Amino acid sequence: MNNEQIPRCLQEGSNSCPYEDLYIYHLNGRITSLEKIDKNSFIGNWEEDDFSFLFFSQPASEEVQILLQSQPQLRLIDSYHMPYIQWQGTEFTCFDHGPFQIIAPWQDRNQRRSDKHTLILDPGLVFGSGTHPTTRDCLDALQLACRRQSPGSALDLGTGTGILALAAARLHCPLNLAVDLNLLAAITAARNVRLNGLTKQVVVVQGYAEDFVQSPADLLIANVHYAVMKKLIQSEGFRTKKCFILSGLMRSEAKQVKIDLERLPAKILKSWTHKGIWHTFYGEFDR
C-alpha cells in the first residue's frame, strides 16, 4: 500500500486525536480500489471474511454510493454512527504497566516518564491498546522471557497494533517480526513502529500466522484465536522455538492447549488467569 492509499489520519504528523465520531458503512464483498474515497475523512477499511467495513470521520453516504456504482461486486448492508470510544469499548488514556508506559501520540509529551519504557501507540480502529487483560499478561510474560537475557529474535503472530513486538524491542530484543492477516492492522502496527523509531528492530508484514510460524525466532508470541492457535502448536515451526507466549485462550481452550503442550517436549513455566476466563502461558522447550 503506497502513501496515497493510506488514510490521512493514519499518516505521520498528527498531534491531536483524529478519532471522535465514527461513520461506518458495512458492505458485502471485498473492495478492489479506494481511489474514489476522499482521504480527508476516510479512516480505514476493516476486512473480515467477505465483508468490508468503511470508517469515516464524517458522513460519507454519497462517496459510498459512488463506490458501489463503480464496483458492482459490493452491496451496502447497513450504516452506523457511533463515538470512537464505543467502538474501542473504552477511552484510550496514558497508563503504566510494569516497566512500560503506553501513551497516544497526541497526548502531552510532558506525561512521558524517563524511568519507563515508553510505547507510543495509536490503536486506530484496531483492538490492542493494552487494556485487554491478555495483552497485559503478555507484557508480563515478555518481562519474564527477557529477565535473564533478551531473546535474539521474536515472532509476534496476530500483532494487532504491534504493541507486543514494540515491547519486545524496548526490552532489547534486536529482531522482531510482527504478523497480522488484517491489512488495516498491519498498516496500524507499521505506523506505530515508525512512531517509536523502531524500524531497525521491528518489521511488520501482512499474512497468515500459519505461514510465518516457520520463521526463525527464539521467542514466539501468539495472542490469537484458538482455531489459529491449534494449527500453530501442531506445526513443525512451533517446535523450533526456544520459548513461547500463548494467549487469548478461554478456559476450555487453555485446558486443551495444556494437553497439546504436554505431548511436546515443552513445559509451562508460568500461567496467568484473569477472572477465570482469559488464560496466558509462558513456556520453554526442553532440548
Q: Cα–Cα distances in Å, from 176 out to 153, 157, 207, 276? A: 6, 11, 15, 31
Question: What are the two backbone dihedrals, phi and then psi, of residue 273, each rounded to the nearest 5 degrees?
Answer: -135, 130
> Percentage helix, strand, coil, to 5, in the chain?
30, 30, 40
What single letter denotes the amino acid at residue 106? W
Q: Please write the tens of the pLDDT for every residue from 98-130.
A: 999 999 888 877 777 888 999 999 998 887 778
Question: Which of 67, 53, 68, 65 lies closest to 22 in space, CA to CA?
Answer: 53
Q: Please give the share of the chain, as a percent, with pLDDT higher than 90.
A: 71
Report the alpha-carbon angle 170-174-176, nearest 5: 85
In the block, which residue shows the cell 532440548? Answer: 287
84 pLDDT exceeds 60? yes
Instruction: Give the helix ranges, DSSP H, for the chain.
Output: 61-70, 84-88, 133-145, 163-170, 183-195, 209-212, 226-234, 236-239, 251-262
- pLDDT for position 4: 39
Which domains occur in the chain, in start order? 3-86 (3.30.70), 127-285 (3.40.50.150)
User: What is the DSSP secondary-structure string of 129-198?
Assistant: SS-SHHHHHHHHHHHHHTSSS--SEEEEES-TTSHHHHHHHHTT--EEEEEESSHHHHHHHHHHHHHTT-
168 pLDDT exceeds 90? yes
pTM of the shown model: 0.88
Most distant CA atoms of the chain, gap in Å: 61
Q: How confident is the model at residue 241 (pLDDT cuts 50, 70, 90)?
A: very high
Among 10-19, 57-66, 154-163, the least confident range: 10-19
- pLDDT for position 2: 41
Query: How far apart (Å, rounded) are the C-alpha atoms in residues 28 and 31?
Result: 9
164 pLDDT exceeds 50? yes
Residue 242: which residues within 8 A CB-CB, separation 6 or more? 151, 218, 219, 284, 285, 287
Say if residues 179 and 222 touch (Cβ distance below 8 Å): no
Q: Please write the tens of the pLDDT for every residue from 268-278.
A: 999 999 988 99
